[in-house]
Amino acid sequence: MLKILTTTLVLLTSTFTFAQTTKVIVRAQAKDAKFIGTGIGGAYVIIRNELTGEILAKGLTSGNSGNTDLLMNQPYKRHNRLTDEQTARFEADLKLDAPTFVTVEAIAPVNRKSSAVKASTQLWLIPGKPIDGDGIILQIPGLMVDILEPQSHQVITQPH
C-alpha cells in the first residue's frame, strides 16, 4: 500500500514540474460600449504574478471595436459570445508550471493620457487550461474627453 501511495505521489508531483503553454486572451471594453482597439490606440495590458510581482506578459490590444449591433442594440444574453476573431484583444502564451494567481490590468485608452483609466481583476491560471473565446473582459469606466479650448500649450490669464 505504501508503495502504491508513493508511486501516486511521485506521478502527481511530476505532472506539475513541466511548464505548459497556457493561452490567455484579454480584452478591454468601454463600460456599456465597444471594445478598445487599434482605432484609438488600444489598451495597455499587464499580466502579473500576484505573489511574486513578476510580469508574465504585457502589450497592447489590437483589432477592431466589435460588432456595433451586437454590442449596442441587442440585449446581452448569458453565454453568448460578444466578440469574434477581429475584435480587439491582447493574447499571451504563458509558460506555467503550477497554478498561478495573477492580476490582469488594462489601462485605456493608452494614447489619451487625460482620459486613461485602469481596470483590473485577479484570478488563478491553470497550466494548459486556456482562457480564450471572449477571454477576460475588463470593463473600462469613464469617457474619452478631448479639450478643444484652451489647447494644452496655451496659458490662461486672469482678467483684471
- Is the residue at 72 inside a domain? yes
- Angstrom distance (rounded) from CA 77 to CA 80: 6
pLDDT of residue 140: 93
Highest-pLDDT range among 82-86, 149-153, 154-158: 82-86
Report pTM. Answer: 0.78
Residues 30-83 have pLDDT tens digits of 998 999 999 989 999 999 999 999 999 999 999 999 888 888 888 888 888 888
Who has greater pLDDT, 32 or 157? 32
- Is the residue at 145 inside a domain? no
pLDDT of residue 147: 72
Residue 50 domain boundaries = 18-140
**Confidence band for 5, pLDDT divided at 50, 70 and 90:** low
pLDDT of residue 10: 58
- Is the residue at 73 inside a domain? yes
pLDDT of residue 13: 57
- Is the residue at 120 inside a domain? yes
CATH number at residue 98: 2.60.40
- Is the residue at 3 inside a domain? no
Phi, psi of 153 (to 5 degrees): -90, -10
- Is the residue at 160 inside a domain? no
Counted domains in the chain: 1
Residues 103-153 have pLDDT tens digits of 999 999 888 887 889 999 999 999 999 999 999 999 999 877 667 777 767
- Is the residue at 62 inside a domain? yes
- Is the residue at 1 inside a domain? no
* 3-state secondary structure at position 10: helix
28, 24, 56, 50: which is closest to 103 by C-alpha?
50
Angle at 56 between CA 115 and CA 98, to 5 degrees: 135
